[in-house]
Structure 1
Amino acid sequence: MVRTILLASAAILAIPTLAHAQSAPAQAGDQPQAEATDDSRVGEIVVTAQRREESVQNVPIAISAFTAEQLERQGVSNALQIAQFVPNLTAQNNTGLGSANAYYLRGLGSTETIPTFDPPVGTYVDDIYLSRQNANNLSLFDVERVEVLRGPQGTLFGRNTTGGAINVIMRQPGHEIGGYAEVGYGRFEKKLARGSIDLPLADTFSIKLSGYWQDDKGYVKNTTTGERLNDDDGWGARLGVRGELSPDVTWNGSYMHVVNDSDYLLNFECDPRAPSNCNGRFATTGYREHPTGAPVFAGRFTGRKQNYPLGNNTDTDLVTSKFDIGIGENATLSLITGYLSQVQQYGLDFFDGRSSPTLAVPSPAVLGLATGGFTFVSDQQSEQFTQEIKLNGSLGDGLIDYVTGAYYLKENVRDDFGDFFGTLNLVLADRILRNSTKALAGYAQADLNLGQFKFTAGVRYTDETKRLGFHDNRASCQAVVGPTCLDTRNLIVPANGTTVPVAVPIPTKLSTKLWTPRFAINWKPNNDILLFASATRGFKSGGWNARETAPSRILPFGPEKVWSYEIGAKTELFDRRLRANVTAFQLDVTDLQVLSGILNPTTGALTFITRNPANYRNRGVEVELTAVPAEGLNLFVNVGYSDDNYRLKKNVPAFDQYGIQSIVAQQAACKQALAAGKVPTGPNTPATQPSIAACASSIVTAQGTIAEPVRTPDWTLSLGGSYRAEFAGGWALTPSVAASYHSKQEVATSNLTFFTGSISGVNQPATGPFPVNPNSGDIILGSRSLAAWLVNASLALSTPEDRIRFSVECTNCLGESFFQSALANYNYLNQPMTWMVKARYNF
Structure 2
Amino acid sequence: MSNFVYRVSALAMAIALNSSGALAANDLALEEILVTAEKRESSLQDTPISILAFSSERLERFGISDLGDIAGLAPNVTITPFPNSRSSLVVFMRGVGNNDSQSTQDPAVGIYLDGVYVARSIGLTSDVADLERIEVLRGPQGTLYGRNTTGGAINLITAKPGEEFAISQQFSAGNRDYWRLLSKIESGKVGGFSAKLSYLESGHDGWVENTGEGKNFGEEEKQAGRAAVRWDLSERVSIDYAYDFSEIDGPQHYYQTTSSTGNAIPANEQRSDTGSWDGGVTPSHTEISGHSFIVSIDTGWGELKSISGYRELAEDIVQNYGGGLPGFKIGVDIEQDQLSQEFQFVGESGENWRYVAGLYYFKEHGSELETDTVPVLIPDPNPLLPPTLLTVTLEDRQIYSTSEAYAAYGQLTWSPAMLAHRLDVTLGGRYTVDKREARKDSAVYFTGGEQSDSETWSNFNPSLTLDYNWTDELSTFAKVVTAYKSGGYNVRSTEDGFTPPFDEEHMVSYEFGVKSSWLNNRVSVNASVFRAEYEDMQLQQITNNATIFLTDVFNVGEAQIDGFEIDVMAVLMRGLTMQLSYGYTDADFIEYIDQRGASPTQGENVANQAEMPYAPEHNYTLGLDYERAVGSVSSPMMLNASIDYQWTDERYGTAFNDDMSGFFLDDYGLVNARLALSDISLGRLGLEVALWGRNLDDQEYKVHSISLGAYQAGYFGEPKSYGMDIRLSF
Q: Could you say which TM-score interval applies, normalised by the shorter chain?
A: 0.7 to 0.9
Alignment of 1:595-634 (within 5 A): 595-600=540-545, 606-634=549-577
* 1:469 and 2:451 are equivalent in the alignment: no
For 1:842, the equivalent position in structure 2 comes to 729
* 1:282 and 2:271 are equivalent in the alignment: no
Q: Aligned partners of 1:751 and 1:622: how far apart in 2?
A: 30
For 1:646, the equivalent position in structure 2 comes to 589
- Normalising by structure 1, we get a TM-score of 0.76
Pick the aligned partner of 1:458 from 405, 425, 428. 428
Which amino acid letter does the alignment assign opposite residue 665 of structure 2? S
Pick the aligned partner of 1:405 from 349, 352, 358. 358
| 8 Å CA contact retained: 1:109, 1:121 | yes
* 1:326 and 2:271 are equivalent in the alignment: no
| 8 Å CA contact retained: 1:182, 1:195 | yes
Deviant stretches of 4+, over 6 Å: 269-279, 660-664
Q: Secondary structure at the match of 2:310?
A: strand
- Cα displacement (A) at 1:605: 5.7
For 1:208, the equivalent position in structure 2 comes to 196
| 8 Å CA contact retained: 2:410, 2:429 | yes
What is the RMSD of the two structures over their aligned residues, measured on CA atoms? 2.8
Pick the structure with greater CA Rg.
1
Seen in structure 2, the aligned counterparts of structure 1 residues 590 and 722 have a Cα distance that, compared at 3 Å, is same
For 1:161, the equivalent position in structure 2 comes to 149
Q: Aligned partners of 1:244 and 1:221: how far apart in 2?
A: 53
For 2:611, the equivalent position in structure 1 comes to 708
- Cα displacement (A) at 1:239: 0.3
Which amino acid letter does the alignment assign opposite residue 511 of structure 2? E
| 8 Å CA contact retained: 1:613, 1:663 | no
For residues 496-535 of structure 1, the C-alpha deviation after alignment (integer angstroms, 9 at most, x for no partner) is xxxxxxxxxxxx1121110011100010122211210001
* 1:181 and 2:169 are equivalent in the alignment: yes
Which amino acid letter does the alignment assign opposite residue 209 of structure 1? L
Pick the aligned partner of 2:466 from 505, 521, 546. 521
Which amino acid letter does the alignment assign opposite residue 590 of structure 1? E
Pick the aligned partner of 1:414 from 364, 367, 373. 367
For residues 180-202 of structure 1, the C-alpha deviation after alignment (integer angstroms, 9 at most, x for no partner) is 21111112111111121111362
Seen in structure 2, the aligned counterparts of structure 1 residues 642 and 430 have a Cα distance that, compared at 3 Å, is same
| 8 Å CA contact retained: 1:586, 1:617 | yes
Q: Aligned partners of 1:617 and 1:270: how far apart in 2?
A: 33
| 8 Å CA contact retained: 1:637, 1:717 | yes
Q: Which moved more, 1:105-114 or 1:724-733?
A: 724-733
Q: Aligned partners of 1:586 and 1:468: how far apart in 2?
A: 35
- Cα displacement (A) at 1:262: 5.3
- Cα displacement (A) at 1:287: 3.8
- Cα displacement (A) at 1:384: 0.3
Which amino acid letter does the alignment assign opposite residue 712 of structure 1? A
Which amino acid letter does the alignment assign opposite residue 428 of structure 1? L
Seen in structure 2, the aligned counterparts of structure 1 residues 728 and 606 have a Cα distance that, compared at 3 Å, is closer
For residues 167-226 of structure 1, the C-alpha deviation after alignment (integer angstroms, 9 at most, x for no partner) is 001000011111421111112111111121111362310000001101112111223336
For 1:747, the equivalent position in structure 2 comes to 653
For residues 764-789 of structure 1, the C-alpha deviation after alignment (integer angstroms, 9 at most, x for no partner) is xxxxxxxxxx8xxxxxx623333211
For 2:624, the equivalent position in structure 1 comes to 721
Seen in structure 2, the aligned counterparts of structure 1 residues 660 and 127 have a Cα distance that, compared at 3 Å, is farther
For 1:734, the equivalent position in structure 2 comes to 640
- Cα displacement (A) at 1:798: 2.2
- Cα displacement (A) at 1:727: 1.5
Q: Aligned partners of 2:549 and 2:467: how far apart in 1?
A: 50
| 8 Å CA contact retained: 2:692, 2:722 | yes
Higher fraction of strand: 2
Percent of pairs identical after alignment?
Answer: 27
Alignment of 1:414-813 (within 5 A): 414-423=367-376, 424-450=390-416, 451-472=421-442, 484-488=447-451, 508-548=453-493, 550=495, 553=498, 556-600=501-545, 606-648=549-591, 665-666=603-604, 705-729=608-632, 730-750=636-656, 782-800=662-680, 803-813=686-696
Q: Aligned partners of 2:328 and 2:218: how far apart in 1?
A: 18
Gaps of 5+ in 1: 9-37, 290-309, 354-366, 477-482, 492-507, 668-698, 754-773, 775-780
Q: Aligned partners of 2:145 and 2:463: how far apart in 1?
A: 12
| 8 Å CA contact retained: 1:83, 1:89 | yes
- Cα displacement (A) at 1:556: 2.2
Seen in structure 2, the aligned counterparts of structure 1 residues 163 and 311 have a Cα distance that, compared at 3 Å, is farther
Alignment of 1:816-827 (within 5 A): 816-824=699-707, 825-827=712-714
Pick the aligned partner of 1:377 from 310, 323, 331. 331
- Normalising by structure 2, we get a TM-score of 0.88
Seen in structure 2, the aligned counterparts of structure 1 residues 644 and 202 have a Cα distance that, compared at 3 Å, is same
| 8 Å CA contact retained: 2:255, 2:713 | no
For residues 467-496 of structure 1, the C-alpha deviation after alignment (integer angstroms, 9 at most, x for no partner) is 01123577x9xxxxxx814312xx6xxxxx
For residues 697-740 of structure 1, the C-alpha deviation after alignment (integer angstroms, 9 at most, x for no partner) is xx77xxxx422212211111100111113212212322111111
| 8 Å CA contact retained: 1:320, 1:336 | yes
- Cα displacement (A) at 1:153: 0.7
- Cα displacement (A) at 1:584: 0.5
Pick the aligned partner of 1:194 from 153, 177, 182. 182
Q: Which moved more, 1:712-721 or 1:829-838?
A: 829-838
Q: Aligned partners of 2:713 and 2:80: how far apart in 1?
A: 15
Q: Secondary structure at the match of 1:243?
A: strand
Q: Aligned partners of 1:537 and 1:197: how far apart in 2?
A: 44
Seen in structure 2, the aligned counterparts of structure 1 residues 655 and 159 have a Cα distance that, compared at 3 Å, is closer
Q: Secondary structure at the match of 1:72?
A: helix
Gaps of 5+ in 2: 10-25, 377-389
Q: Aligned partners of 1:276 and 1:522: how far apart in 2?
A: 54
- Cα displacement (A) at 1:811: 1.4
For 2:697, the equivalent position in structure 1 comes to 814
| 8 Å CA contact retained: 1:517, 1:536 | yes
Aligned length: 679
Q: Aligned partners of 1:472 and 1:713: how far apart in 2?
A: 37
- Cα displacement (A) at 1:44: 1.1
Q: Aligned partners of 1:445 and 1:254: how far apart in 2?
A: 28
Q: Which moved more, 1:258-267 or 1:463-472?
A: 258-267
Q: Secondary structure at the match of 1:713?
A: coil
Q: Secondary structure at the match of 2:470?
A: strand
Q: Which moved more, 1:514-523 or 1:255-264?
A: 255-264
Which amino acid letter does the alignment assign opposite residue 335 of structure 1? S
| 8 Å CA contact retained: 2:172, 2:180 | yes
Seen in structure 2, the aligned counterparts of structure 1 residues 406 and 277 have a Cα distance that, compared at 3 Å, is closer
Alignment of 1:386-401 (within 5 A): 386-395=340-349, 397-401=350-354
Q: Secondary structure at the match of 2:45?
A: helix
- Cα displacement (A) at 1:744: 2.5
Q: Aligned partners of 2:500 and 2:169: how far apart in 1?
A: 51
Q: Which moved more, 1:545-554 or 1:229-238?
A: 545-554
Which amino acid letter does the alignment assign opposite residue 706 of structure 1? Q
For 1:306, the equivalent position in structure 2 comes to none
| 8 Å CA contact retained: 1:557, 1:611 | yes
Which amino acid letter does the alignment assign opposite residue 486 of structure 1? G
| 8 Å CA contact retained: 1:597, 1:609 | yes
For residues 106-152 of structure 1, the C-alpha deviation after alignment (integer angstroms, 9 at most, x for no partner) is 00122211211111011100000010001112424411110000011
* 1:53 and 2:6 are equivalent in the alignment: no
| 8 Å CA contact retained: 1:316, 1:341 | yes
Which amino acid letter does the alignment assign opposite residue 524 of structure 2? R
Which amino acid letter does the alignment assign opposite residue 62 of structure 1? S
| 8 Å CA contact retained: 1:143, 1:169 | yes
For residues 412-450 of structure 1, the C-alpha deviation after alignment (integer angstroms, 9 at most, x for no partner) is 111122222254543222232110001000000010012
